[in-house]
Amino acid sequence: MIIADRKSLEEIQDMIKEYKKILLVGCKGCVTVCNVGGAKEVGVLAATLKIARKKDGNPIEIDEKTLERQCDPEYVEQIRDIFDQYDAVVSMACGVGPQFLSEAYPSQKFFPAVNTKFFGGAVQHGIWEERCAGCGTCVIHYYDGLCPIARCSKSLQHGPCGGSAGGKCEIAKDVECIWDTIVKKKMEQGRLEDLRTLRAPKDWQTARDGGPRKSIREELVQ
Amino acid sequence: MSNNGLKSGSNLEKVLKAGHFAFTGECGPPKGANVEHLKEKFEHLRGKVDAVNVTDNQTAVVRMSSAAASAIMVANGIEPNFQMVCRDRNRLAMMADVLGVYSLGIRNMLCLSGDHQKFGNHPQSKNVYDIDSMQLIAMVKKMRDEGKFINDEDIDVPPKMFIGAAANPFADPYEFRIYRLANKIDAGADFIQTQCIYNMPRFRDFMKKAVDMGLTEKAYILAGVTPMKSARMAQYMAKMVPGMDVPEELIERLKGAGKGNQAEEGIKFAIEQIEEFKEMEGVAGVHLMAIEWEHRVPEIAERANVLPRPQVD
């Protein structure tokens, strides 16, 4: 899923400092699962902002709404009747949400309350890690199901580099060297030959490097 | 291959092909356009080494480009070993630079992944890594031997480079390091320069493996030597430099030399190493990385009995 972190309170306050009445919109998708932008977090942020503004002698009115998903026009429609009742709308969804909202309601102003970070999952309660770089051409079968494009700091297709030490990456002691894991697994299983292959330079056209991407499923297009 | 059987015709290639024990040096370009400073640094190396490595934004700190500094060296009659990292450029820029430096008279290049920019003075920058060091080696070989770009289009006058690569016998997982070296040689590396060696037992073992696998028949391996200036430098390298293996006993030896004598002790250790490398099976030479100590290279070369450098036609 998509992992996000909430922006600092100061940054959000600064974004909305000139507004008196805002709508804070959460999303029940990924950001709910990673505890950053669901109904609960919408409630907490709204309360915090209201308290802070009241303390400053500049109270703000905030209504809360959490949509099934902000990346789906069907659900984005759910604020059609109310969107223009506010000075601005703050979205707590990933970067997709405020854009779908902006496109659906061109006359309104939208702000992001979270920083969208990566595609990953929870490795333990409260800790999420990156697993996929969305490069558009999956090659993890070459590497025993582990992705060096997303998980090696240099996206090396032939690792590990000379900075790998004790299973850790050269950039920080708390970053796993994924190549260490790949190599050990191959060696333990007697499949070292897999790592003796020279791989062609990757075709990055399917990644963001090829320009904005689109996926068309002909059978679903009406 | 050219008529004389050489791949590039560089001095380094000629020295190695003739069977001499090669001796290469290193020169980091200045943090600015200070050509005089650059010249002052590399003048210390004139006649003392077979080629001078010119680093490419080493440790991800921005400096005068390795291409420009290498070209200045060529213009001043010193042979550079142009270093190129994968961190800062995509394949278009890299191929363009290979053609560019070749046209400026550069004949050796060292293909590297490059330190992550997080270490450097612009950690905010994008990291490119369009291709990695293995693919860079293969790219330069293809340009030289097939006369083609990565996309298979023909090159109008291919760049004939003597292709170098790095090997770090001290990074993990150790068991795989020899295969990674083999991969680089298979990809097209003509010569290898290793990471600075301090752990001699491990390096002896690594070289034995390289000989046993026949790698030293396929590429020239130059052992990396960086003289320690002090016990503090040794401690710093042990702790802070990724992939560096500095045994505690070396640190103790430097400390034991006492204040004022640690640099001399560091040089002594380096000279002992060079003497051993001369005798070690499969080692074709030494790469001396005297970091910001270029002025000490003539003395080290003299005391290590690697002078005068051979002249090979």
Sorted by where each begins, the domain ranges of chain B are: 19-167, 175-302
At residue B100, does pLDDT exceed 70? yes
Could you tell me which CATH number the domain at A2-118 has? Answer: 3.40.50.2300
**A-B C-beta contacts closer than 8 Å:** 105
Q: Best residue in B129, B140, B186, B213 to probe A by mutation, most A CBs within 10 Å?
A: B129
Shortest distance between the Cα of A181 and any Cα of chain B, in A, equals 9
Q: Which tens digit of pLDDT belongs to each residue from A166-190?
A: 999 999 999 999 999 999 999 999 9
Q: Report d(CA A168, CA A171) in Å as an integer.
A: 8
At residue B3, does pLDDT exceed 80? no
Q: Which tens digit of pLDDT belongs to each residue from B243-259?
A: 899 999 999 999 999 99
Taking CA–CA distances from B195, the nearest residue in chain A reads A162
Mean of the per-residue pLDDT values for chain B? 96
At B66, the amino acid letter reads S
Q: Which tens digit of pLDDT belongs to each residue from B206-253?
A: 999 999 999 999 999 999 999 999 999 999 999 988 789 999 999 999
**Which residue from B49, B41, B39, B38 is spatially nearest to B15, judged by alpha carbons?**
B49
Dihedral, CA of residue B195, residue B236, residue B124 and residue B58, to nearest 10: -40
pLDDT value at residue B242:
77
CATH class of the B175-302 domain in this structure:
alpha beta
Q: Are A167 and B150 a contacting pair at CB < 8 A?
A: no
Q: Best residue in A191, A198, A199 to probe B by mutation, most B CBs within 10 Å?
A: A198
Tens place of pLDDT for every residue, chain A, 222 residues?
999 999 999 999 999 999 999 999 999 999 999 999 999 999 999 999 999 999 999 999 999 999 999 999 999 999 999 999 999 999 999 999 999 999 999 999 999 999 999 999 999 999 999 999 999 999 999 999 999 999 999 999 999 999 999 999 999 999 999 999 999 999 999 999 999 999 999 999 999 999 999 999 999 998
pLDDT value at residue B240:
85
Shortest distance between the Cα of A85 and any Cα of chain B, in A, equals 40
B19-167 and B175-302 have identical folds: yes
Q: Given the structure tokens 């309170």, which residue do they identify?
A: A9
Prediction ipTM score: 0.94
Q: How far is CA B92 from CA A158, B70, B295, in A?
A: 20, 20, 37
Sorted by where each begins, the domain ranges of chain A are: 2-118, 133-204
Specify whether the CB–CB gap between B128 and B87 falls below 8 A: yes
Could you tell me which CATH number the domain at B19-167 has? Answer: 3.20.20.220
Q: How far is CA B280 from CA B125, B158, B187, B208, B308, in A?
A: 42, 36, 25, 9, 21
pTM: 0.96
**Which residue from A168, A194, A115, A77 is spatially nearest to B171, judged by alpha carbons?**
A168
3-state secondary structure of B98: helix
- Mean pLDDT within B261-270: 97
**Which residue from A64, A113, A117, A65 is spatially nearest to A93, judged by alpha carbons?**
A113
Shortest distance between the Cα of B11 and any Cα of chain A, in A, equals 28
The reply to whether B174 touches chain A by the CB within 8 Å rule is no
Q: How far is CA B274 from CA B106, B223, B269, B303, in A?
A: 27, 8, 9, 10
> Strand (E) positions, chain B?
22-27, 51-54, 80-85, 108-112, 162-167, 191-196, 220-225, 283-288
At residue B294, does pLDDT exceed 50? yes
